[in-house]
C-alpha cells in the first residue's frame, strides 16, 4: 500500500463547479491515486455544520460525483469532517478527500523487500512553495 494523504478543500458559497472532478477522475483512472473516503459538509452562516451526501451539489439534476458515491473506508469519521468544517468560513462548503498514493506502492514494497524502512515523511504545503517561488522569482530574500 502507498502513503495515505488527505485534502480539505473549501468551496465558496458551498458551490461546486465540477472543474476539479475531471482531474480527480484522471488520477484515479491512471492508477496514481485511489480514493478511500470522500465526505462533504456545509457551514451555515450561523456556524451550523451539516454533513452532505455525495449528490447533486450544484442543483442541476445531475449526480456530480456518482463515481464516488458510497466511497467510505471508515478511516474518516464525523470528527474529521467537523474539524475540516472548522477551517472554512461560514456560508461555504468543504470536501474532505482521503486517498492512497498508489503510484508509491511498488516502490515502498521494493524498498521493504530490500530491508529499507521509511524513517521520515512530510509534505510542504503548496501555498508555501508558491510563495517561496514567487519570492525567488522577484529576487527577494526568502
Model pLDDT, residue 99: 92
Based on the number of CB atoms within 10 Å of its own CB, is 22 exposed (0-12), middle (13-18) or buried (19 or more)? exposed
Model pLDDT, residue 24: 85
Model pLDDT, residue 39: 87
Tens digit of each residue's pLDDT, the chain (142 residues) = 788 999 999 988 887 766 777 788 889 889 999 999 888 889 999 989 988 766 555 555 555 555 665 567 788 888 998 999 999 999 999 989 999 999 988 988 899 999 998 888 788 888 899 999 999 998 865 4
Task: Read off φ and ψ for residue 59, nearest 5 degrees.
Answer: 70, 20
Q: Give the bridge partners for 94, in sequence order.
A: 10, 41
User: Residue ranges per domain, the chain?
Assistant: 4-103
Model pLDDT, residue 14: 80
Report the C-alpha gap between 68 and 77 in whole angstroms: 17
Amino acid at each position: 500500500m502507498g502513503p495515505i494523504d488527505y485534502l480539505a478543500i473549501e468551496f465558496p458559497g458551498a458551490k461546486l463547479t465540477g472543474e476539479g472532478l475531471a482531474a480527480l477522475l484522471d488520477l484515479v483512472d491512471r492508477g496514481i491515486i485511489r480514493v478511500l473516503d470522500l465526505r462533504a459538509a456545509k457551514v451555515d452562516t450561523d456556524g451550523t455544520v451539516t454533513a452532505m451526501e455525495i449528490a447533486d451539489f450544484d442543483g442541476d439534476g445531475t449526480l456530480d460525483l456518482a463515481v464516488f458515491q458510497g466511497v467510505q473506508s471508515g478511516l474518516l469519521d464525523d470528527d474529521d469532517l467537523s474539524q475540516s468544517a472548522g477551517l472554512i468560513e461560514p456560508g461555504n462548503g468543504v470536501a474532505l478527500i482521503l486517498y492512497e498514493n498508489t503510484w508509491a506502492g511498488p516502490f515502498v514494497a521494493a524498498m521493504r523487500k530490500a530491508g529499507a524502512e521509511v524513517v521520515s515523511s512530510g509534505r510542504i504545503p503548496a501555498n508555501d512553495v508558491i510563495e517561496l517561488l514567487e519570492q525567488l522569482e522577484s529576487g527577494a530574500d526568502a
